[in-house]
Amino acid sequence: MSRDKKIQDYDPLYSFLRHYVDFALKLSYRTIRYVGRERVPTDGAVIYAPNHTNALMDALVILAMDAKAKVFVARADIFKNPTFARILTFLKIMPIMRMRDGYEEVKKNNETIERAACVLRDRVPFCIFPEGTHQTKYSSLPLSKGIFRIALSAQELMPDMPLYIVPVGLRYGNFFRFRSTVRVEVGEPINVGKFVAEHSEHNSGEQINAMRDLLSGRMKQTIFYIPDDENYNATYEICATVVKQRVKHINDTQSGVKLRGLDAHFAANAHTVKYLSELQERDTERFNRLIKLGNAAHEMRHSKRISLSSVSVKYPVLSRILKGLFLLVALPYVLPVSLLTLPINCVCHLLFTKLKDYAFRNSVRYLVNLVMWPVLMIIYAIVAFVCLPWQWALLVVVALLPAPIIAHETYRLIRVLVSDIRLLMYPELRHTYEQIRQEIFPRKKY
């Protein structure tokens, strides 16, 4: 008699599709940067604990962190449809009850805990978003207790195997824009068995609270974290305003390898947030002046629909020249492929009108491209080989393969170039940014 198939078991179809899903994910971002993967323990079972900011894309980014299959959890109510439940199970997602579902429903999580322990015993990574819901902010939500109950119960069920909770920080360049950037940092793991032994004098509730505080602190170290909700917009505006100056300052004052790219932006923003926090304590008047400037810049920029990328770009003049040259070169290609990718854009915009939460936009665009572009390519290839000599048809097919990415990048550059022009034509806003920079770096002229 064959045993029942477990969710973590090898599935050849899943494994085959996984390569395509990961490849499509890489095309969905200009840059995906993984930091600290060497911190993931290899001597036991692992529960990944990422922050949650970008709906489905968060899970896909975690999945693509390495070649291993991973099992995820999702809220139980989306499993009510039997067909959808089978699809989710195929995708290695299992249900978890939440307190809002009612106490009687939460008691059903005992089965989830047993299945999670089974997954972990097979050394398949398990992933749960401890914040419970997503928010499109560079901040942090209180952690739910579910991940800790699962971890403690799973450790009891497998006392012979180390179990680790691994914090993971996801930092998106933009929560809503397709083809943005994402930086993923693995934090310092928590050895669950060791933690329990060190807190053996406490009951399980106290252990959960202590572990929650520890995980929360380690997660915040891996993300771009703005703790001041009251002055969130101003703080974020100030961070973007001085990011290139802050990167230069860090690289000038530290020895060793110079920071570049997403790592440089991450470090610069963390330094600026820390600077503002310390400034609030030692010089309230200057802090309030900076926050006032930050709020003013935020309101002016939004009123004119100016992108922050126009503010934080390292070499603005060179950047605008290169954008213009690329648009000139790409235009003959972009015009026809825009028509051929129009079905994808139409479906995306139709679905966008039905979304109440903007955080799902990237997920929707990713899924639409994932499904529709191969279908359209087959249709276009058939038409090309029917209407053209095979040599020309093959050339057309090859030229069309990157069409959605090239077209989207062109539209993005047009949007940013328009934003650059708006910023150039708004001297009051540029003067405000100059004031912010002079407040933080008074000896420098920009």
> At residue 111, does pLDDT exceed 90?
no
- For the chain, what is the mean pLDDT? 89
Q: What is the pLDDT of residues 378-415, one digit of tens each?
A: 999 999 999 999 999 999 999 999 999 988 888 888 88
> At residue 119, does pLDDT exceed 60?
yes
Confidence of residue 41 (pLDDT cuts 50, 70, 90): very high
Please tell me the pTM assigned to this model.
Answer: 0.90
Q: Half-sphere exposure (CA, 13 Å, Cβ side) for 244?
A: 13
> At residue 272, does pLDDT exceed 50?
yes
Q: What percent of the chain has pLDDT over 90?
A: 62
Cα 230 from Cα 186, distance rounded (Å): 28
CB atoms within 10 A of CB 424: 12
pLDDT of residue 1: 36
pLDDT of residue 99: 53
Cα 174 from Cα 245, distance rounded (Å): 21
Domain boundaries in the chain?
A: 12-222, 232-304, 316-424
Q: What CATH number has the domain spanning 12-222?
A: 3.40.1130.10
pLDDT of residue 225: 94
Q: Which two tokens stand for residue 80?
A: 């009510």
Beta strands 180-186 and 163-172, pairing class: antiparallel
Q: What is the pLDDT of residues 183-226, one digit of tens each?
A: 999 999 999 999 999 998 999 899 999 999 999 999 999 999 99
438 within 8 A of 242, measured Cβ to Cβ:
no
Cα 76 from Cα 114, distance rounded (Å): 16
The residue that leads in pLDDT, 169 or 82, is: 169
Q: Taking residues 57-61, report their average pLDDT.
A: 94
Closest among 410, 348, 351 to 373, alpha carbons compared = 348
In terms of phi and psi (left: phi > 0; alpha: psi -120 to 50; beta: otherwise), the region of 144 is: beta
Q: Taking residues 38-49, report their average pLDDT.
A: 95
Q: Which two tokens stand for residue 331?
A: 């235009």
